């Protein structure tokens, strides 16, 4: 196994998840992810004029294609501009995976420039929200994000990626399958349910 930085593993994960379109708006805390995407031929990066347009575009993409909509923004105001779109998509059961840049882990909680608790902000309006705090958890967290977004009742998953995790070296391994403890989505619907009973 090769050692690659987190940003390169992020790109590898998108390709493994068959992501062909990424809605993305650059910013300081996500710039390493954009650098890793530079020159990538398999993923179309759609650049909107504003993050709010980006989230609604990803939502429309997911609704029209049946695929998971994927988007990437920076921390702070870049992330908070997504809130309305996240709530809309989640309440309508649209599968989206939201990647947000974040300040380095050692600066979290220090009122750093453009630092917001985006996991805390979105926890009540998405299906699952998580911050990656260790480089060794990155691959499993991304795999889990896609799995949760599209299984059971589809919804939005938020993955917050601190800058030091994006730059840290680690294994290039990306799992083919994942099991999420405590998450057991129904894979089929019982045909007898939902029928109107005659009185």
For 98-119, what is the mean pLDDT? 94
pLDDT at 194: 56
CB neighbour list of residue 178: distance below 8 Å, 6 or more residues apart: 140, 143, 144, 147
**What are the structural domain ranges in the chain?**
3-171
CATH 3.40.50.970 fits 3-171, yes or no: yes
pLDDT at 182: 84
* 141-176 pLDDT, tens digit each: 999 999 999 999 999 999 999 999 999 999 999 999
Contact yes or no for 153/93 (Cβ under 8 A)? yes
Q: How confident is the model at residue 123 (pLDDT cuts 50, 70, 90)?
A: very high
Least confident of 36-45, 108-117, 190-199: 190-199
Q: Rounded to an integer, what distance in angstroms lies between the CA atom of residue 58 and that of residue 12?
A: 20
pLDDT at 151: 94
pLDDT at 17: 98
pTM of model > 0.85: yes
pLDDT at 1: 80
pLDDT at 193: 60
* 13-68 pLDDT, tens digit each: 999 999 999 999 999 999 999 999 998 999 999 999 999 999 999 999 999 999 99
Which residue, among 43, 57, 49, 50, has the nearest Cα to 11 in the 3D structure? 43
The rounded mean pLDDT for the chain is: 93
pLDDT at 195: 55
Among residues of the chain, what percentage have pLDDT more than 90?
A: 86
Strand-pairing partners, residue 27, are: none
**Does the structure show a pLDDT above 60 at 121?**
yes
Among residues of the chain, what percentage have pLDDT more than 70?
A: 93
Q: How confident is the model at residue 81 (pLDDT cuts 50, 70, 90)?
A: very high
């Amino acid at each position: 196994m090769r050692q690659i930085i987190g940003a390169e593993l992020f790109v590898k994960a998108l390709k493994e998840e068959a992501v062909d379109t990424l809605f993305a708006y650059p910013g300081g805390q996500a710039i390493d992810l954009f650098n890793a995407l530079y020159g990538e031929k398999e993923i179309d990066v759609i650049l909107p004029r504003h993050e709010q347009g980006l989230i609604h575009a990803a939502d429309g993409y997911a609704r029209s294609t049946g695929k998971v909509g994927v988007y990437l923004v920076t921390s702070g105001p870049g992330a908070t501009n997504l809130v309305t779109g996240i709530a809309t998509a989640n309440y309508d059961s649209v599968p989206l995976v939201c990647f947000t840049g974040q300040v380095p882990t050692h600066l979290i909680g220090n009122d750093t420039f453009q630092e917001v608790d985006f996991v805390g902000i979105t926890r009540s309006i998405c299906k699952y929200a998580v911050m990656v705090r260790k480089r060794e958890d990155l691959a499993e967290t991304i795999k889990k994000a896609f799995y949760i977004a599209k299984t059971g009742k589809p919804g939005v998953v938020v993955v917050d990626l601190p800058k030091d995790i994006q730059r840290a070296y680690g294994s290039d391994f990306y799992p083919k399958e994942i099991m999420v403890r405590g998450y057991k989505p129904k894979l089929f619907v019982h045909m007898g349910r939902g029928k109107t009973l005659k009185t």
